[in-house]
Amino acid sequence: MTSQFYRSIPAFFKGIALFTPGGDLIYCIDPDKKGRWHLNLCSAIQDALELPEPPHFLVPCYTATLDRWFDARAQQVRVFAETYPPVFRYRSLLNRVFEAGDLVWQIAPSQEICDPMILENYRSQFPQLWENHDLVMRYEPVPPPQSAAPVSPYPQGYVLRLFVSGYSAATARILQNLHALLEQSLDSPYTLKVIDIFKHPEQAESDQISATPTLIKVYPRPVRRIVGNLDDADRVLRLLGALDEGRQE
């Protein structure tokens, strides 16, 4: 497939890139910085490579983010650029698609869920992802219709912690389901940190973890948690306050 490079990128934007293990790339540019496009990019890769389902397990391990904004207080342009270790080698390509010149990229802290042995479990189901199709594609979302829905009261987004006992295919499945639910249900950005209680016992003790998996909503207040089964979508949404907000409308 012929690579496509787009110009006329806005001065200030958030760019999100999703790679495949084989080196294909799909990315988007969000000038409003109100969207979270990982779910959309996974679906776009599914369509482009004819996959059986969206490869949510690529998030966050095969992602990169560039944020360019104007700091009014300092009266200067700020740029934040970060990639996860598996895609750091593609920073020159990222600079091209985001028209970023010779921008220096940071490496995001590695997460245990990005262990190659865990990701390798998906290879037999998604062999196309480990092949290179020379795909470089910009995702162009269709603008949603105007809605009367209120603006989220949490402009800073959600801060979540997921405590697990080691990393396995079951952990990967939980993460995949959580990311899909959060992308579909939240109107604010979110941060989900995965913490292995065996590697970080002090953090588990600090958050009073008695069993795994445990999902904690750290922000916005109040702090809430779910212990055990995370497959109940309504239960997770109640933790986030999303269902409560819906009932108050």
Q: Could you list the beta-strand ranges (E) of the chain.
A: 13-19, 25-30, 63-71, 76-83, 106-107, 136-138, 158-164, 190-196, 214-219, 224-227
pLDDT of residue 95: 95
Q: The tokens of 236 are what?
A: 């997770």
Where the chain has pLDDT below 50, the residues are 1-7, 148-155, 245-249
Q: Which fold has domain 158-248?
A: Glutaredoxin (3.40.30)
pLDDT of residue 34: 63
Pick from 139, 115, 114, 111: nearest CA to 46: 139
CB 107 within 8 A of CB 84: yes
**pLDDT tens-digit profile of 67-126?**
998 888 888 889 999 999 999 999 999 999 999 999 999 999 887 778 888 889 899 999
pLDDT of residue 145: 57
- Delimiting residues of CATH 3.40.30.10 domain(s) in the chain: 158-248
